[in-house]
A and B are shown apart, each in its own frame.
Chain A
């Protein structure tokens, strides 16, 4: 709704759009307890927001700097309500959300501002919620939003990028969605390791992209498949106490078969596309895991092969690191440790030291393993991660 209203008023008035949505929700909070929840709440909210928008335009349209293409139409009663109706109808709202996605993920905005703006305007998160999601103060989020809106205004109208720029701009959108997902799936800074709300929003936004002819592309399906494979396992990743359960120990019977089937479907669609992206390979790796009956029977050779492909696309230490873990599974901990030694540039990551600890432990080098776990624990802020590392240190005796 914010996206559609912003398109109506123009990017300069994104706050007016937010105001109207907020006013609509307030109205619902006042009226629903007394008159009951309407039969179709979404339609009620839509109607109220539309009427508020029309009221504001009636009262203020001369003072508002509107977009050239619809200013005359919004300033005359002849066309005001039908123009507003048309711009706020359902199919056009879906398109508006996509346009807004491209605008929020504009390369001129720093990533953290992109995420804050996307959560505020596309996902309807409040400032306190966004602040909580990233464990920063509300003031920080307000600052980020303020700067993002300033940059946003400079963009003027909110449009799809031209075909020549679509692919690189889409990359930015996908990167932001994936970041949102990862923050939900592997919260770096939150008491709860998994934040369902962020995961759901990331899935929803990506799904929306697959439903539009312009953005229905292989890499979008690949990212959606990748996120779905991960989401299918999310319920088994933590136990009742909120502690991490490793892939090796997860109860595979509780993985969500429906989500895996949906992921398979999108992976098929992804492979049918022209381009090959990182998301394709990462989704393929996730698919191998999702279809392995047990940890031991996982096709590690296939996974190593896929990591090799990934390294050709993007030679990064994180991928080398993950490949080394797969080598350890396929060829034993000594071979894995050897591969891990070759990885340079991850010395600041708790994951690297935790994995090094595992491989040392498996080779019986418990003292070195304990030191690696201790070092890893100093490098993460996540309570769940710390708890897991503590358990591993204790197991070293």
Chain B
């Protein structure tokens, strides 16, 4: 649901000669919501504590496990409740994102 009318200042910003590319700003929005997982699983999924890390795990496995939590077929203390907050499409994005973290 993109809003078409971009305020003037934004339009000016966007027009300033490939600003995003030149400056390091992202050219397209990254999946910001993946950072929701970082509170418990570590920044970019890299955990150094008892809660397991999820960085660099197999993409298909991550997606399957999250969907199983969501459906309640995989036991958990908390993930079966949190996974229900995400659509299948969002789960696929999360799986892709964390599988690519080194």
A and B held together in a complex: no
